[in-house]
């Protein structure tokens, strides 16, 4: 979906930054499956696993688009709760959809995220001088927010990012906040606009043809 602005692309780069400090000191990573069960421990393990995998891919000189896509499907998508992401994105439309229609939207969102971000991951190579601090986290039952700060050595200022997690059988990321902007918020604006112009049934048909 082309409506996603450049600021959201910074989310993914920041997500990579979050992991690189851990990864540079502790690769190979501990799998999230055997890591501790607190939100911060899982964020640490998830990002560690992602970034260590990309470091290994680049060191093999095989960081092309196809390899990056395969790695994204194996190492990033399993840590994202796409179903809840889709439910929050569609908001008031969600209850009106049949289970099959919900899956169609979920697949479209997944493809959209891949289309927007895989190229960035494939081209990003400067992993030097990144510093990360997990500042704080809050948890209410099966929801948690993990706040982190990202900065570059010898430069003033940092970037604050909040990862939002939900737990069903395990913690998964369902949104990222950068300042006052969230991925879900931007995706919601895009889908709401399309549904308003075309109607939800026509939009579903177009998504089916595209797939």
Domain residue ranges in the chain:
6-210
Most confident of 5-9, 32-36, 93-97, 124-128: 93-97
What are the pLDDT digits (tens) for 13-47? Answer: 555 444 444 444 556 667 888 888 899 988 888 87
What are the pLDDT digits (tens) for 120-168? Answer: 777 766 544 555 667 789 999 999 999 877 665 666 666 778 889 999 8
CATH topology of domain 6-210: Nuclear Transport Factor 2; Chain: A, (3.10.450)
pLDDT value at position 180? 76
pLDDT band at 195 (very low <50, low <70, confident <90, very high): very high
Question: By the 8 A CB rule, do 143 and 165 touch?
Answer: yes
Those residues with Cβ within 8 angstroms of residue 86's Cβ, 6 or more apart along the chain or in another chain: 94, 102, 105, 106, 109
Rounded to whole angstroms, the Cα distance separating 150 from 152 reads: 7
Geometric angle at alpha carbon 9, from 6 and 15, rounded to 5°: 150
Look up the pTM and report it.
Answer: 0.80
Those residues with Cβ within 8 angstroms of residue 146's Cβ, 6 or more apart along the chain or in another chain: 39, 40, 43, 134, 136, 137, 162, 163, 165
Taking alpha carbons only, the member of 17, 1, 5, 46 closest to residue 121 is 17
């Amino acid at each position: 979906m082309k409506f996603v602005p450049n600021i959201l692309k910074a989310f993914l780069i920041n997500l990579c930054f979050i992991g690189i400090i851990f990864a540079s000191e502790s690769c190979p990573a501990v799998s999230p499956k055997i890591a501790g069960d607190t939100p911060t421990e899982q964020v640490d393990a998830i990002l560690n696993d992602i970034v260590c995998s990309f470091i290994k891919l680049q060191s093999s000189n095989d960081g092309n688009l196809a390899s990056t896509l395969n790695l994204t499907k194996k190492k990033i998508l399993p840590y994202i709760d796409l179903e809840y992401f889709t439910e929050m994105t569609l908001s008031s439309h969600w209850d009106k959809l049949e289970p099959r229609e919900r899956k169609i939207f979920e697949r479209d969102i997944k493809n959209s995220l891949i289309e927007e971000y895989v190229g960035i991951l494939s081209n990003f190579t400067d992993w030097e001088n990144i510093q990360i601090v997990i500042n704080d986290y809050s948890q209410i039952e099966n929801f948690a927010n993990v706040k982190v700060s990202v900065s570059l050595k010898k430069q003033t200022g940092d970037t604050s990012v909040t990862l939002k997690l939900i737990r069903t059988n395990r913690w998964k990321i369902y949104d990222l906040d950068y300042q006052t902007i969230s991925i879900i918020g931007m995706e919601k604006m895009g889908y709401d606009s399309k549904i308003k112009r075309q109607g939800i049934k026509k939009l579903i048909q177009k998504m089916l043809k595209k797939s």
